[in-house]
Amino acid sequence: MAHRVREGVPVGIIGYLDGEPVAWCSIAPRASYRDLGGKNDRVNKQGNVWSLVCFFVPRRLRRQGVMKRLIAAAVDHARSRGATDIEAYTVDLDSPSYRFMGFVPSFEAAGFQKVGTAGTRRHLMRLVL
């Protein structure tokens, strides 16, 4: 990770509260990740697809709108760097795993649409910018 940061490879954004870093999400060009899986009907063969894949929000700040703000900031970050589409690999609220990737309702509220699956539990969601 340190090597990627030194090389200028996008790895994510940090959320701050009163000047203190408190949250993080991974947002970067899809090509910079290992295979994320995902089968969908609309594969964007052109354009600059970014992936939003992982979140950390401390327990004390959950259910306070931090995810909503992180998703919005990640979308703005990717858009400002030329992204044409953003993919996310979300799970249902009752999922026993992959919860760190975010929940379907949070992404639906941000305008993402389900376009396929990634494995047996994850939903491939896409936002066209």
Structural tokens at position 129: 């910018």
How many structural domains does the chain have?
1
Mean pLDDT of 18-36: 85
Mean pLDDT of the chain: 86
State the residue range of the domain holding 114: 2-128
Q: Is a pLDDT exceeding 70 seen at residue 31?
A: yes
CATH code of the domain in which 81 resides = 3.40.630.30
Residue 120: what residue type? Answer: T
pLDDT tier at 37, thresholds 50, 70, 90: low
Q: What is the pTM of this model?
A: 0.84
pLDDT of residue 50: 92
pLDDT at 36: 64
Over residues 70-113, the pLDDT tens digits come to 999 999 999 999 999 999 999 998 988 888 888 999 999 999 99
Quick one: tokens of 53? 């894949």
Assess contact for 54 and 100: CB atoms under 8 A: yes
Helices (H) and strands (E) in the chain, counts: 3, 7
**DSSP three-state, residue 124:** strand
